[in-house]
């Protein structure tokens, strides 16, 4: 699922194998996301069944702190909660089987940068008990190497040219290596 962008609020399903597994016609015209948003984070929570998009930058509207879930039965985007701290964008996100959507770093309206790692299983309740990144990070990437290891790399912090430093979060012990 692809949601929004700097100039669109379109919601689109894209098949990774369009020739052998095309998107069914009933899923080709989904309800648009309520905002034209960029720099948001998202993933499928609830066992991969519920698309969730949190935060982001809304052109001419500032930062969005809300999380919205897509309800496939009603074809609607519904607010589920807010990612703490409110109004953070340019964070990184990935989905973990035990913790749900993991969100690291980001920047707020006052240009304060964050090192926190937060998680949510439902977009309404958030945990911030994960180990923080050693330094704040924005515009970075993250991915799960396996169920026990989150890799965080690239992006920017107080170095205007960006950074090539990478961090490894051990999900078993909540420690950074």
Q: For the segment 118-175, what is each residue's pLDDT rounded down to a tens digit?
A: 999 999 999 886 788 888 889 999 999 999 999 999 898 776 677 888 889 988 888 8
Closest CA to 100 of 140, 44, 146: 44
Provide the number of structural domains found in the chain. Answer: 1
Interval 24-79: pLDDT, tens: 998 889 999 999 988 899 999 988 889 999 988 888 777 888 899 999 899 999 99
Q: What is the pLDDT of residues 121-134, one digit of tens each?
A: 999 999 886 788 88
pLDDT of residue 87: 62
Write down the mean pLDDT value for the chain.
Answer: 88
Q: How far apart are CA 13 and CA 11, in angstroms?
A: 7
What's the pLDDT at 86? 64
Phi and psi angles of residue 86, each rounded to the nearest 5 degrees, phi first:
-65, 155
- Give me the CATH number covering residue 83: 2.120.10.80
Q: How far apart are the first and last CA of the chain?
A: 32
Separation in Å, CA 5 to CA 32, 40, 41, 148: 11, 9, 12, 31
86 Cβ contact list (under 8 Å, min separation 6): 65, 108
The pLDDT of residue 129 is 67
* Range(s) of the domain holding residue 153: 2-176
pLDDT at 152: 93
């Amino acid at each position: 699922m692809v949601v929004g962008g700097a100039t669109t609020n379109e919601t689109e399903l894209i098949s990774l194998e369009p020739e052998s597994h095309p998107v069914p016609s009933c899923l080709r015209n989904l309800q648009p996301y309520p905002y034209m948003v960029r720099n948001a984070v998202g993933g499928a929570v609830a066992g991969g069944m519920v698309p969730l998009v949190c935060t982001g930058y809304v052109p001419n509207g500032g930062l969005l702190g809300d999380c919205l879930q897509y309800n496939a039965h009603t074809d609607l985007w519904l607010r589920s909660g807010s990612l703490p701290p409110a109004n953070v964008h340019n964070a990184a996100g990935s989905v973990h089987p035990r913790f749900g959507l993991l969100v690291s770093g980001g920047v707020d309206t006052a240009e304060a940068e964050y090192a926190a790692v937060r998680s949510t299983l439902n977009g309404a309740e958030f945990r911030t008990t994960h180990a923080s990144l050693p330094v704040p990070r924005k515009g970075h990437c993250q991915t799960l190497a396996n169920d026990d290891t989150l890799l965080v790399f690239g992006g920017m912090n107080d170095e205007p040219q960006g950074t090539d430093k990478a961090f490894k979060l051990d999900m078993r012990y909540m420690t950074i290596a």
